[in-house]
Amino acid sequence: MPGSATVTIDTTSWCVSIASTPAEWAQGLGGLASLPAGWGMLFDLGYSRQVTVTTRPMLFDLDILFLDEQCLVTDVRRNATLGQEITRTCRYFLEVNAGEAVNIQAGDAAQVAPPQIDDQVPITETLLAMLMVFAIITTGLSTILKYQPGFGQ
């Protein structure tokens, strides 16, 4: 599962999932019906390289911000519509809802920070995962113990 962070450029901030593996890059935001306002995905390519971003699996339009090694915006592709391919050289790129990067320009600096403590989505996801693991372990243990001689008599 991707990590999460907050990306701030100028006065605009987004809560983002971080995609840093080939599987996460391939999945990206593809297949999502929509993206809440102020949310996005930050792709960390590990080092600066040429990348082709495709909007073929997308179900909504995007603004795509390309960033260099120092997290400076090198290019902004606004209103990328479905079915496009955009090739750029970058270290990172950020996908957000179309229209949300309206005030962002090349040369702007991005700040990437861990999620704030009041960011409930990662905490909720973590608690849900912990509850699921607990339920699986509890079910497994009760099944095992049920068939142990002398248990529960």
The domain of 19 spans: 3-115
The answer to pTM > 0.75 is no
Instruction: Answer yes or no: is 27 within a domain.
Output: yes
**What's the CATH number where 24 sits?**
2.60.120.1140
Same domain, 12 and 56: yes
Residue 135 or 48, more confident: 48
Strand partners, 75: 66
Q: For position 147, what pLDDT does the model report?
A: 52
Same domain, 87 and 53: yes
Give 150's pLDDT tier (boundaries 50, 70, 90): low
Q: CA-based Rg of the chain, rounded to a whole angstrom?
A: 20
Same domain, 63 and 132: no
Same domain, 125 and 109: no
Count the domains in the chain: 2
Between CA 22 and CA 27 the distance in angstroms is 9
Same domain, 141 and 105: no
Q: Is the pLDDT of residue 127 over 60?
A: no
Same domain, 11 and 50: yes
Same domain, 51 and 100: yes
Give tens-digit pLDDT for 65-100. Answer: 999 999 999 999 999 999 999 999 999 999 999 999
Same domain, 84 and 139: no
DSSP string, 39-92: EEEEEEEEEEEEEEEE-TT-SS-EEEEEE-TT-BEEEEEEEEPTT-EEEEEEEE
Give 108's pLDDT tier (boundaries 50, 70, 90): very high
Give tens-digit pLDDT for 9-31. Answer: 999 999 999 999 998 998 999 88
